[in-house]
Amino acid sequence: MCETKREYAANYRKPPLHTRFKKGQSGNPRGRPKKNLPALLVAALNEPVFVTIDGERRKITKREAVITQLVNESAGANLRATKMLIDDEGHRKEDRCRTAAGAAPVRAGRRGGDQRRRGANPGSLAARNPGDECR
């Protein structure tokens, strides 16, 4: 054969030999990445759903639908739903109080840094807001 001519023609469904997979080697060795549970939950809760509220059809997320159902069940004297709401509010209150008591905030804003530089007393959130329940 001529040196310039290949041993075979690289055509449709016949890639060149140097680009083919080696024997015993997979084309995707690690496989498709698996989704983790929090990502799946967020994706499922953000899906839209159509609901009828007061005879009007509306498009809301599943997250909103779940919260609306939970609040309505709680208002209808469902003790389990009421306990879930109270527990959720308790966790939120603990988080607010922990942040106000001096725990480092997740993201410090520019304004907070300016106030510290000016010598303002950071104090607790309860001291700045007397009506707050974190005392």
Q: What band does 89 get if pLDDT is binned at 50, 70 and 90?
A: confident
| Residue 52: partners with Cβ closer than 8 Å, 6 or more residues away | 58
Q: What does the pLDDT look like over 3-58, one tens digit per residue?
A: 555 566 778 888 888 888 888 877 787 888 888 999 999 999 999 999 998 999 99
Q: Which of 98, 94, 99, 97 is nearest to 109 (CA)?
A: 99
Instruction: Provide long-range contacts, Cβ within 8 A and 24+ apart, for 43-47.
Output: none
Query: For tokens 């809760």, what's the residue?
Result: 45
pLDDT at 124: 46
Global confidence as pTM: 0.46
Give the integer Cα–Cα distance in Å for 44 and 87. Answer: 23
Domain boundary assignment for the chain: 37-99
Q: What is the largest CA-CA distance in the chain?
A: 93
pLDDT at 55: 94
Dump the DSSP string for 52-63: EETTEEEEEEHH
Q: Is the pLDDT of residue 125 over 90?
A: no
20 close to 36: Cβ distance less than 8 angstroms = no
- 78/99: higher pLDDT: 78
Angle at CA of residue 108, ends 43 and 123, nearest 5°: 125
3-state secondary structure of 98: helix
